[in-house]
């Protein structure tokens, strides 16, 4: 199993290109099931999760071709499509459940295994089931599989208000409703940029959608969709992660493709902590304003609030801040598993339920640590960049699910980082 060796060596300087969004791409790929005509995605990230979604779609009968070193993905669902998503593939990744809505919309039935993924909370499927039921789907759980069907073979427009603004359930509802008969309305919908990106792609395919990016989305169902070509939106979580690198280490880094609008709440917290973020023609330039970073309090919230997927990385920054910070995790339970690993590096952190109190120290010290999930893995790398001595991060297969060529990008800015090949 591979590991990452990081040596703290001072300020970073350079540019980092930001890839297309993993979460957006994983949502866009199942949309190919909605049409017989090809769907082509450009600016696709080259990640293990994308390969897993490719395997899942191919197991359903979708033809998938990766072009230009994997940055362009062309998919076609014109052949015989199976409505069964098997456990052996679905268990590897939470986003696999996003085939449920498209399969129901186009074929009127589906059998999808309960998904797997990172151990950061239950992320229950009942929100998805309730949303699809509002469109006339009948879904029951048997032997670890969701068995879904539609009376009459076609979903019907409906109105549904979610109890929580779930990104995945919003995406499943959107993809199901575009082929439903009549008008559908989703209230308390998620507002993330990935939702808007999906809606943009579906409109290119012929869907009639309005209100995306707001709490209420309206969809007028159409009889069929056609093919399209669509660029994947910039990965705002990768963007935020690399913005924290010069914040932690010092120096100045320009993140190509970045926009403040993707991370407004996050940028406000960086400013409060003493980090300068400036928009350029190419992206965002990030540097410390002066001296030591200042402690700030953080509460994770659905977009446009502070992203839960940047909480672990922000904690790494605050470990060496001046003063005491409190981080409140309101999206997922059990998402402070990186705290004990940071404490191995000398951080002073107290965790109580959904709150973590971080008392800043002058300097972290390198240590062997273990990644517990995707975002935790990169938070430990960031901490290692600013620590004295060497840090070895093990179980970095988590990292490869969501970060494209992390060692290469940091090396280009002067970091001392290398991958150690496992057995």
Residue 279, helix vs strand vs coil: strand
User: Which residues are catalytically annotated?
Assistant: 118
Q: Which two tokens stand for residue 25?
A: 């791409």
Buried b (16+ CB within 10 A) or exposed e, 22-40: bbbbbbbbbbbbbbbbbbb
CB 31 within 8 A of CB 227: no
Q: Report the pLDDT value the prediction gives residue 277, as an integer from 0 to 100.
A: 98
Q: Which two tokens stand for residue 163?
A: 């109890």
CB 254 within 8 A of CB 16: yes
3-19+234-420 belongs to which homologous superfamily? Answer: Enolpyruvate transferase domain (3.65.10.10)
Residue recorded with tokens 């969004």: 21
**Smallest Cα–Cα separation from 86: which of 65, 114, 49, 124?**
114
User: 11-22: per-residue pLDDT in tens?
Assistant: 999 999 999 999
Residue 153: other Cβ atoms inside 10 A: 9
Q: Which residues fall in the annotated binding site?
A: 22-23, 94, 309, 331
Q: Report the pLDDT value the prediction gives residue 118, as an integer from 0 to 100.
A: 43
Q: Report the pLDDT value the prediction gives residue 121, as an integer from 0 to 100.
A: 43
CB 97 within 8 A of CB 144: no
Tell how strand 159-161 and strand 183-187 pair up: parallel
Same fold, 3-19+234-420 and 22-231: yes
Mean pLDDT for the chain?
94
Q: Report the pLDDT value the prediction gives residue 122, as an integer from 0 to 100.
A: 47
The domain locations on the chain are: 3-19+234-420, 22-231
CA atoms of 301 and 206, how far apart (whole Å): 32
22-231 belongs to which homologous superfamily? Answer: Enolpyruvate transferase domain (3.65.10.10)
**Smallest Cα–Cα separation from 352: which of 339, 362, 364?**
339
User: 308-341: per-residue pLDDT in tens?
Assistant: 999 999 999 999 999 999 999 998 777 899 999 9
CA atoms of 43 and 48, how far apart (whole Å): 16
User: 400-413: per-residue pLDDT in tens?
Assistant: 888 989 999 999 99
Q: Which residues fall in the annotated binding site for UDP-N-acetyl-alpha-D-glucosamine?
A: 94, 309, 331
Q: Which residues fall in the annotated binding site for phosphoenolpyruvate?
A: 22-23
Q: Report the pLDDT value the prediction gives residue 186, as an integer from 0 to 100.
A: 98
CA atoms of 89 and 97, how far apart (whole Å): 11
Q: Report the pLDDT value the prediction gives residue 116, as an integer from 0 to 100.
A: 56
User: Quick check: 43 pLDDT over 50?
Assistant: yes
User: 68-123: per-residue pLDDT in tens?
Assistant: 888 999 999 998 999 999 888 888 787 789 999 999 999 999 999 887 544 434 45
Residue 271, helix vs strand vs coil: helix
């Amino acid at each position: 199993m591979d590991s990452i060796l990081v040596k703290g060596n001072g300020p970073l300087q350079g540019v980092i290109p930001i890839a297309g969004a993993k979460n957006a791409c994983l949502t866009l790929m199942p949309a190919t099931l909605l049409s017989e005509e090809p769907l082509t995605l450009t600016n696709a990230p080259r990640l293990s999760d994308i390969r897993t979604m490719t395997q899942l779609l191919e197991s359903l009968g979708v033809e998938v071709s990766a072009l230009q070193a994997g940055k362009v993905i062309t998919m076609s669902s014109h052949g015989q499509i199976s409505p069964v998503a098997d456990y052996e593939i679905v268990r590897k990744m939470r986003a696999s459940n996003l085939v449920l809505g498209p399969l129901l919309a186009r074929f009127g039935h589906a059998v999808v295994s309960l998904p797997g993924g990172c151990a950061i909370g239950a992320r229950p499927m009942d929100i998805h089931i309730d949303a699809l039921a509002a469109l006339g789907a009948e879904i029951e759980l048997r032997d670890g599989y969701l068995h879904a069907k539609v009376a009459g073979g076609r979903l019907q427009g409906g109105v549904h208000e979610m109890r929580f603004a779930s990104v995945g359930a919003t995406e499943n509802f959107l993809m199901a409703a575009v082929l439903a008969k009549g008008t559908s309305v989703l209230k308390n919908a998620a507002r993330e940029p990935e939702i808007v990106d999906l809606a943009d792609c579906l409109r290119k395919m012929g869907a009639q959608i309005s209100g995306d990016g707001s709490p209420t989305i309206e969809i007028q169902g159409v009889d069929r969709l056609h093919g399209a070509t669509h660029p994947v939106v910039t990965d705002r979580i990768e963007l935020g992660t690399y913005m924290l690198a010069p914040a932690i280490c010092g120096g100045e880094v320009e993140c190509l493709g970045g926009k403040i609008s993707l991370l407004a709440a996050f940028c406000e917290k960086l400013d409060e902590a003493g980090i300068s973020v400036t928009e350029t023609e190419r992206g965002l330039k990030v540097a410390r304003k002066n001296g030591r970073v200042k402690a700030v309090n953080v509460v994770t919230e659905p977009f446009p609030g502070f992203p839960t997927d940047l909480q672990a990385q922000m904690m790494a920054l605050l470990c060496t801040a001046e003063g005491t910070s409190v981080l409140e995790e309101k999206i997922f339970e059990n998402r402070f598993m990186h705290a004990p690993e940071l404490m191995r590096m000398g951080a002073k952190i107290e965790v109580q339920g959904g709150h973590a109190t971080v008392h800043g120290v002058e300097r972290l010290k390198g240590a062997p640590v273990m990644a517990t999930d995707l975002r935790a893995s990169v938070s430990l790398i960031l901490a290692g960049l600013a620590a004295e001595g060497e840090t070895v991060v093990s179980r970095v297969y988590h990292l490869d699910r969501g970060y494209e060529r992390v060692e290469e990008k940091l090396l280009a800015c002067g970091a001392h980082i290398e991958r150690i090949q496992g057995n």
